[in-house]
Amino acid sequence: MSMTLQEDQLNDLDRAILDYLRANERATPTLLMLELQDNGVETGVRQYVNSRLSRLAEHGHIRNVRDTGVYEFASDPRQSD
């Protein structure tokens, strides 16, 4: 299922994840959660962050680097081509 998401299908956490990965290249779910929380973003538990990462990866907006659990930015559904 590689169809990209539309901007209105993103929640606030999705947007924060995309912004963080665009600026910082790579992160694990735990690092991402801690960094976002330090910046005042409500993330919920790590499992929720992980589910949002999986969803963004399913749609091709981020990549799980070599299936290591380290994610990197790929594309932003908020920007049109």
Would you list the domain boundaries of the chain?
11-73
pLDDT in tens, the chain (81 residues): 458 788 878 999 999 999 999 999 999 999 999 999 999 999 999 999 999 999 999 999 999 999 999 999 999 998 754
Residue 67 tokens read as 């299936």
Q: Which residues have CB under 8 Å from 19's CB, separation 6+?
A: none
Please give the Cα distance from 74 to 58 (Å, whole number): 12
Main-chain dihedrals φ then ψ at residue 73, nearest 5 degrees: -70, 140
pTM for this entry? 0.89
**Fold adopted by 11-73:** Arc Repressor Mutant, subunit A (1.10.10)
